[in-house]
Amino acid sequence: MKNLNGVNVIAVHAHPDDEAIWTGGMLSDLAMRGANVLVVTCTLGEQGEVIGEPYANLVADKADQLGGFRIRELQKSLKTLGVRGTFLGGAGCWRDSGMAGDPANQHPRAFTNAGDEAVEQLKSIFLTHPPHLIITYGPDGGYGHPDHIKAHEITHRAVEQRNLVTPILWAVTDRRRFDEGVAVITAPTTAGWRMPQPNEIACVTSSDIEVRLSDAALAAKVQAMKAHATQLWIADGSINDTNPVAAFAPIIDPEKAPFVFALSNLITQPLLRFEHYQIGTVVNVSTRNTIEALVAGELEAGRSSNGAGDTTDGEAGADDHRGGAGS
């Protein structure tokens, strides 16, 4: 499907930057082909850590101003991807919960405790923007973050309660592709950065759809990730006002790892040319073929290996931070 005029796609994400890290390439390509793409962000990411000294005091246990700052980063990312955005319930309705066990879990507005109100808010969005395709995370949220898990839960509840037959895709990280990417990265030269330990980053062993990003989609994803400068550090020698320090990580094979990045935990990760998705709803062969045709276009979409509900291995996720940050 080259021309997607009239096709509505909704991506439900937990925090600013998730839209870029997990789904930026495909969202950009869908938008470039005419789809009406709406990103629903559930929190402001208030519990995140901050990369770089200039805005380090914005974190929750100091000025607690990071959430507002990240709105600007999200707006820049969405503009780069060519998609629209909205906050579930409005900006600041729900607060980043932090990782499981973080005291932030007990905040009155913590998203992890959201119930029927959040479901109703999402149902209203589905009513005004009837989706042909929905993207979110799997039951484990991709790596166990409470807000990612909650995003999964309210998405499926909203779909069920509105009796929608819209297919849902779960964004995942593929173990084989990730390990291939790590293998072609030489040791980073930036102070504090380190290579990941085996199985440290949560990945799946199989997925239903593997999407090879076009050059345009990959470029948009990289720039969208760069927009989240408090959270992401691309090792390409670039600097910005938020993080005026350059990072470098030589790559042996740019096809397997076109770029390298780290989050505030400074664990080196490959920024892959591929995105992977599991089909999160029961679909027949015809519907599956339609999904693959929808995401194909200029991208090369194909089946990876069977098992939409396959297990996840590893402890930390693709957007995990030290100290319970919410991406």
Indicate the annotated binding residues for Zn(2+): 15, 18, 148
CA nearest neighbour of 88 among 114, 59, 49? 114
The dihedral sign for the CA sequence 116, 119, 125, 129: negative
* Owner of token pair 């084989």: 176
- Greatest Cα pair distance in the chain: 53
Q: Residue 287 belongs to what H/E stretch?
A: helix 285-296
What are the backbone angles phi and psi of residue 112, rounded to the nearest 5°? -60, -25
The dihedral sign for the CA sequence 157, 25, 288, 126: positive
Q: Give all strands (DSSP E) within the chain, no chain letters.
A: 8-13, 36-41, 84-87, 133-136, 168-172, 203-204, 209-212, 233-234, 259-262, 269-271, 274-279, 300-302, 312-313
Q: Which residues are annotated as a binding site?
A: 15, 18, 148
What separation in angstroms does the CA of 9 have from each of 93, 135, 222, 279, 318?
A: 23, 8, 21, 15, 23
Torsion of Cα atoms, 165 then 23 then 146 then 150, to 10°: -20
Distance (Å, whole) CA 296 – CA 292: 6
User: Which residues does 106 contact at the CB level (< 8 Å), separation at least 6?
Assistant: none
Composition of the chain by helix, strand, coil, percent to 5? 30, 20, 50
Return the structure tokens found at 108: 């009155």
